[in-house]
Amino acid sequence: MRCASTTGTQFWSENLDYRSGILACFDSTRESVEVISLGQTPLRVVNWRGISDPVSSIGLECPSSNAELPSLKVALCQTDPAGDPMISILDPRRCDPLRLPNPPSSDVTFGKSLHFSHGRLFVGEPAGTTDLQYTGKVWVLDQETGQIMSVLSGDPGGPFDMFGNCIDGAADHIAIGAPLQDLPHADCGAVHIFRRAGSEFLHVDCLKSKFPEPNGWFGSSLIFVGKSTLLIGSPGSSDSGWIEVFRYDGSFWNYSSRIIAPSTSIRRFGFSLALVGRDLLVGEKSNGPKWIHYGGGEEVKERWTAGMGQIPDYLLPRIGSITNPNIFCRSACDKADMELPEKTTSNSKSDGTSSAVPEV
């Protein structure tokens, strides 16, 4: 594999990991990973070539406020010819990818989710076995050596919870989804909150849906918006699915409101979540997977086709379009300057529900 280089080539995006103004994408056609800064004109691209094995998930290192684009690390989970997952770190200080060893007891779901935080790489294994069968776990690895620093699990936890299906973080908090956890109903779902205490990450809370339903899959997706707002997808709830918003008061994460689908014909609303700058994207599956857009910035609100899964046209020459939210992968960082995107129209209800209409 060649060293990272600056390029301006157009490419087709399949697996993406967004940051506030920075994203990383895998281009299967060109067999390359590209890290792009969206806030620079012209757009700046760092290109890693020679990525031949299929990429199933991707994670981008959270930059500090003064980080240079070429210095950011990228984590990849790929499938080797034998069908086993393998984790690699693309480090601009090296010309070849750093392959991390798989933990001895990991299974084929190792690497389903990836997240950088505090010098560690969090790797989800949602079918992993702890003291219970297939409850799921998250490996906390040293970025340089792959050494196991700790293993996180749900508290409480149960078999087939899918703990580790998605991971996100902001400041000292890490949120981990367990969408098939039986709290209180079968496959209702839960989200576990961990907080950094020195070199450790301690389990501090287990968030449950305000409106629990069997097969609600609360925790199928999650994303921090700033340090004190957490959006959690519950795509199996009701007929269409919804997103629940939790806010941190300095001590606890509390339910705040709910975002419901803008149309009753939509299905699996909230099965994936993403941010592009201040713009929120919500995945749904009523007629194949696609995105619904909620605009948060004046500069892009006229440049979207709502619900069609398109990136604003000023980005199209660089990143193509996201055609399949099924394989969209993202890890969060401390977006201290971000706030929950404002909606142009909403109907407030007594339970805090917001029925929002995407801006077009």
Confidence (pTM): 0.78
Cα–Cα–Cα angle for 179, 183, 187, nearest 5°? 45
**Domain count of the fold of the chain:** 1
User: How many other β-carbons are positioned within 10 Å of the β-carbon of residue 155?
Assistant: 13
- List per-residue pLDDT tens for the chain, 360 residues long: 333 333 322 222 334 454 445 667 676 666 777 776 655 544 556 667 777 777 888 888 765 544 555 567 888 888 888 888 999 998 877 878 899 999 998 999 999 999 998 889 999 999 998 888 889 999 999 998 999 999 999 988 888 999 999 999 888 999 999 999 998 999 999 999 999 999 899 999 999 999 999 999 999 999 888 788 899 999 999 989 999 999 999 999 999 999 888 888 888 988 888 776 656 778 888 776 677 766 554 333 333 333 333 444 333 333 333 333 333 333 222 222 333 333 222 333 345 554 432 221
What's the pLDDT at 308?
Answer: 35
Among 57, 207, 206, residue whose Cα is nearest residue 126 = 57
Exposure of 301 in the CB half-sphere (CA atoms within 13 A)? 14
Amino acid at 207: L
What's the pLDDT at 295?
Answer: 58
Identify whether 346 is part of a domain: yes
Q: How far are the Cα atoms of 77, 156, 180, 218 from residue 135, in angstroms, in the given order?
A: 21, 10, 9, 16
Identify whether 333 is part of a domain: yes
Host domain of residue 33: 5-355
Identify whether 157 is part of a domain: yes
- Mean per-residue pLDDT over the chain, rounded: 73
What's the pLDDT at 52?
Answer: 77
Count Cβ neighbours within 10 Å for each residue of 159-192 and write b for 16 or more, e otherwise: ebbbbbbbbbbbbebbbbbbbbbbbeeebbbbbb
Could you give the CA distance from residue 44 to residue 109 in angstroms, rounded to a whole number?
Answer: 33
Count Cβ neighbours within 10 Å for each residue of 9-42 and write b for 16 or more, e otherwise: eebebbbbbbbbebbbbbbeeeebbbbbbbeeee
With residue 317 as reference, give the H or E element that holds it.
helix 316-319
Identify whether 227 is part of a domain: yes
Phi, psi of 306 (to 5 degrees): -60, 130
Could you give the CA distance from residue 190 to residue 57 in angstroms, rounded to a whole number?
Answer: 22
Calculate the dihedral angle through the C-alpha atoms of 138, 143, 149, 154, rounding to the nearest 10 degrees.
-20
Most distant CA pair in the chain: distance in Å?
57
Exposure of 289 in the CB half-sphere (CA atoms within 13 A)? 15
Identify whether 360 is part of a domain: no
Could you give the CA distance from residue 312 to residue 296 in angstroms, rounded to a whole number?
Answer: 13
CATH code of the domain containing 216: 2.130.10.130
Identify whether 148 is part of a domain: yes
